[in-house]
Structure 1
């Protein structure tokens, strides 16, 4: 939650009737030529998962806008699914950028950085609003083409054949109507498994039956070296409400179960969209949770593409596992494409 992690730089913005966003907001320094960066977190996170990047880039003179996305943190969490359609949330983000004095109508652009579900969402955001981005940086999850419905059974067969395990099996649990209630009742166990070593995620998070078993047995995993008590304390506050996971799991029900807005994306954005700016994909150096083809997936849709690795990163949450490396790699990349 923006107010938990950065209380002096947190804002609340009424986007539309019934929808309010909270966001970390560091205005770009007036004397700095550096633009703003929009950070889009994934599941099950919040703006807090970007805290290392927020501190680093704001100190360097960049503007920083890191919202709690719809359903997360202090942002409104509708129970109905329609607001979670990507087009609706893309409109929300544009309204937020304008509130943060980004002159989109005058041609001002921002660097966009996404992780996990934030990377997936970014593809549609840039499809509907191609003129907002200087660069698009995808962390851990590469560019995902808008307007395409995921076939869970097909993905199960493909990932089991290539990787030896079902990569997206956990989504079957998260799409269930009762998943948010189960997660909320077992927050501590879910926290430890979410940020566990990648080997444990492969064995007990990704398979659809194993995730529920782990958390309902109140199991606890060893913490990773980067995990601090301060990080956990803030995150515990963010997800303390009994229904804190209803909004986050609504993303899965809306996108992968009801396919809300996907046909409209295909109609509006087209069947062969291009990323409208230079694009970069960054992952941990030794991650086992990525299909071999992901290194070049983004390249197929980009006119200008770069692939980067954080050598000391070992898993999915690369910006938390290797913050110094990620900050350095990201800064060098952004400087290559300074306005």
Structure 2
């Protein structure tokens, strides 16, 4: 990703977004790439050149709290409707009426809110690993969430959120950057069953410097860049994505939303990751199949970071689907 294509764009809330942008060729749409945690727009480095070479425009922001974008320390700044409005203002500033959304991890959560409030801005939406998420209409209770996931899936899906709920989580991450990175960017996909989905194990892994190894799909130079960026920018703001959720700052709006907004009328693509033990297809597909009116489903033999681990397959899948999306 050419660093000269980044620009700083302000939004009405007073924040500054670091945004990668290149314009589309005639008759080609622009792709809006929305990353997850603990990532930045750099997560799309294997998609951006592929689609630029084929004439697609690219918008890839560092989301609020990440990379070189503003880093507020108030969890309410991360309300999903506010983040969605920020993205819409970025599209407006770039003169883009409609785009194709492509999300991964938390990026799919934010795309969900964008699709509910601003679906007219999309030709279609592609969801990588995580599907459309309906707004929660009950207060978040971590103990309940852990117990329910244990009962439904056999493991404590939200156990690692206990670490992110800690006031010192961001400081601990920076102090133990390699154990954190090797927990986040897994060499062995199944390791999350031990280190994320058992209570207390995420903190143990990070704080005792358990090094799980660097995956082959993350070369040393890329690992070093991600490491340097995390150390330089910190994660004190980005971890508030979790705290906003746990505090229930979206709940009042969620309760007042019409369920008619849950319907996705534009074409959708869901690309599942068979080896992802956290964002499992069985948990996300039923909602996608219920809400998306025109849905294509593809499953790839990859872990959580499928856009990096099997970039060629992801790019080919996206390109084939994009060829079917009406403009």
**Under a length normalisation based on structure 1, what TM-score does the superposition of the two structures give?**
0.90
- The counterpart of 1:157, out of the listed 147, 170, 180, is 147
Distance 2:100 2:283 in 1: 25
Alignment-derived partner of residue 51 in structure 1: 45
Distance 2:39 2:252 in 1: 27
Whether 1:93 aligns to 2:87 is: yes
Secondary structure of 1:38's counterpart equals strand
Distance 2:4 2:153 in 1: 45
Q: CA RMSD in A?
A: 1.8
Distance 2:199 2:112 in 1: 26
Deviation of 1:183 (Å): 1.1
- Structure 1: which 5+ runs fail to align? none
Distance 2:277 2:230 in 1: 28
- The counterpart of 2:23, out of the listed 22, 27, 40, is 27
> Would you say the 8 A contact 1:12–1:22 is kept in 2?
yes
> Would you say the 8 A contact 1:53–1:327 is kept in 2?
yes
Alignment of 1:164-179 (within 5 A): 164-179=154-169
Alignment-derived partner of residue 144 in structure 1: 133
Deviation of 1:55 (Å): 1.2
Deviation of 1:273 (Å): 1.9
Deviation of 1:302 (Å): 1.3
> Would you say the 8 A contact 1:176–1:253 is kept in 2?
no
Distance 2:189 2:38 in 1: 16
- The counterpart of 2:262, out of the listed 273, 280, 286, is 273
Alignment-derived partner of residue 292 in structure 2: 302
Distance 1:48 1:272 in 2: 31
Aligned residues: 324
**Under a length normalisation based on structure 2, what TM-score does the superposition of the two structures give?**
0.93
Distance 1:36 1:271 in 2: 27
Deviation of 1:72 (Å): 0.2
Secondary structure of 2:11's counterpart equals strand
Distance 2:141 2:13 in 1: 34
Distance 2:291 2:216 in 1: 36
Deviations 1:161-210 (A, max 9, x none): 34321112111221222211111211121011111121112211233411
- Structure 2: which 5+ runs fail to align? none
Deviations 1:40-80 (A, max 9, x none): 10111010111101111111100010100000000000011
Distance 2:29 2:213 in 1: 39
Which stretch of the first structure deviates more once superposed, 8-17 or 298-307? 8-17
Alignment-derived partner of residue 220 in structure 1: 211
Whether 1:70 aligns to 2:59 is: no
